[in-house]
Structure 1
Amino acid sequence: MAAQERESAPRLTQLTRPGEVTSALRGNLVDCWVTVSNAGGAVIPYGFPLPPVTARQVGPVLDQVVQELHPQRCRMLVATVEGELAGWLLLRRDQHPLVAHCGVVNHVQTHPRFRRLGIGAALMRRVRDVARDDMGLERLGLGARAGLGLEVFYRRLGWLEVGRWPGALRVAPGDDRDEILMSLTL
């Protein structure tokens, strides 16, 4: 893909039901997750081992994520540039009445081919609108891995660091990182 094509603004699509994820999109999501994980991205590998990972390991975990899609509980935002998957994230709401006004953003990913083009920022701005306007949420939270400067990225987008869980993330034997807890009031 030519550099000028990648400069196009991303197209952001919201998915709210499992049937909206086509087999082609599923393949692209798996590829993105594998590529981001193996490139050292801070995507927490729920359900599969630490990198290196394969599509065979990531696929079933993605399938489980897709099955959770529901308009009120779980939505996926997908960013494409010129028809190619550039990034994605997940927005979840817990149904328990004590926290039903809050959502959690998970699996924020930008494919390495599309880094530094504003894809992550576009996804994070859009998730704020979706959470507030479409799901009626009042607050969002997320966890970020320390040591990568992610807290700076999120702060620029209005998020506040509200705490740290020291050593909560074991990236590799002997490499424990803090989980940075971030919050955004909508």
Structure 2
Amino acid sequence: MTASGVTAPTLAQFAQPSGLSTALRHELAACWAAVVNSGGAVIPADCPLPPLTSAETAAAVERIAQGLAPERGRLLTATVEGCLAGWLLVRREAHPLEAHCGVVNHVQTHVNFRGSGVGAALMHHVHHVAREEMGLERLKLTVRAGLGLEDFYAKVGWIEVGRWPGALRVAPDDDRDEILMSLTL
């Protein structure tokens, strides 16, 4: 338990497709659908607009699973009392000029666990995994403006390095900036 009475998340990482059980893949897809349906910004490219079902996010989860490899990409999860509470993907940039950098994608906290420290725990854990286990020196991520996410990331050490104005069309007449963020490890 934490000081606030909430059970601290158990963190794990997966670096091989074989490490992801069928049950975990289903939980990841269900979490993803729930996050998108609650207004989250991480809509899979091949999915329709929300609302989504876990069946619609399952193919994207499978693509992520197949891309896992110790040097290239790792999936980090947070569970609370046996339930998937959140997850993210960290991967090394493929181009040789950027091989010292990584990208963090799909940062998600299940709607039932928001505000409980799961997201912060995942972000602190990804710092360690990226630096100590993957040998990365810098991480980057992008976030959608208008959700306050840049404030969350700033609290865990990230800095805003730029914006692409109006790059994301959420709905007709609702274009948002894409915010570029960086973390030196």
For this structure pair, what is the TM-score category when the shorter chain's length is used for normalisation?
over 0.9
- What TM-score results when the alignment is normalised by the length of structure 2? 0.95
1:184 corresponding residue in structure 2: 183
Could you list the per-position Cα deviations for residues 123-150 of structure 1 after superposition, in whole angstroms to 9, with x for gaps in the alignment? Answer: 0000000000000000000001100100
Matches within 5 A, 1:158-173: 158-173=157-172
Q: Which moved more, 1:13-22 or 1:46-55?
A: 46-55
CA contact (8 A) 1:171 1:177 kept: yes
Q: Which moved more, 1:30-39 or 1:48-57?
A: 48-57
Matches within 5 A, 1:14-93: 14-93=13-92
Matches within 5 A, 1:128-143: 128-143=127-142
Counterpart residue type for residue 34 of structure 2: T
State the Cα distance separating 1:47 from its structure 2 match: 2.3
What stretches of structure 2 of length at least 5 have no aligned partner?
none
2:117 corresponding residue in structure 1: 118
**Identical pairs, percent:** 62
State the Cα distance separating 1:56 from its structure 2 match: 2.2
Query: Aligned partners of 2:97, 2:139: CA distance in 1, in Å?
Result: 14
State the Cα distance separating 1:95 from its structure 2 match: 2.6
CA contact (8 A) 1:50 1:171 kept: no
SS of residue in 2 equivalent to 1:98: helix
State the Cα distance separating 1:171 from its structure 2 match: 1.1
CA contact (8 A) 1:131 1:137 kept: yes
Query: Aligned partners of 2:49, 2:169: CA distance in 1, in Å?
Result: 9
Query: Aligned partners of 2:158, 2:101: CA distance in 1, in Å?
Result: 14
State the Cα distance separating 1:172 from its structure 2 match: 1.4
- What TM-score results when the alignment is normalised by the length of structure 1? 0.95
State the Cα distance separating 1:46 from its structure 2 match: 2.4
Give the total of aligned pairs: 183
Counterpart residue type for residue 101 of structure 1: H
State the Cα distance separating 1:168 from its structure 2 match: 1.0
Could you list the per-position Cα deviations for residues 62-120 of structure 1 after superposition, in whole angstroms to 9, with x for gaps in the alignment? Answer: 10111000000010000000100000000011232100000000000000000100000
